[in-house]
Amino acid sequence: MEYLEDLHAGPPLLPADPQSRATQRLWADHVNRNVIPCFYKLLQAQVETEQVEHAKELRSQIGKLVGAADATGPFFAGAGVSFVDVQIAPWVLRLRRVLGPYRGWPEADEGSRWGKWVRALEEEESVKMTTSTDELYLDSYERYAENRPGTSLLADAVNSGRGLP
> Which domains occur in the chain, in start order?
16-158 (1.20.1050.10)
Residue pLDDT tens, the chain, 165 long? 888 888 988 888 999 999 999 999 999 999 999 999 999 999 999 999 999 999 999 999 999 999 999 999 999 999 999 999 999 999 999 999 999 999 999 999 989 999 999 999 999 999 999 999 999 999 999 999 999 999 999 999 999 988 888
Phi then psi for residue 8, to 5 deg, are 55, 35
- Residue 9 pLDDT: 85
Residue 71, judged by CB atoms within 10 A of its CB (0-12, 13-18, 19+), counts as exposed
- Residue 42 pLDDT: 98
DSSP state of 97: I
Q: What is the pTM of this model?
A: 0.93
Q: How far apart are CA 145 and CA 152, in angstroms?
A: 13
Q: How far apart are CA 164 and CA 33, in angstroms?
A: 8
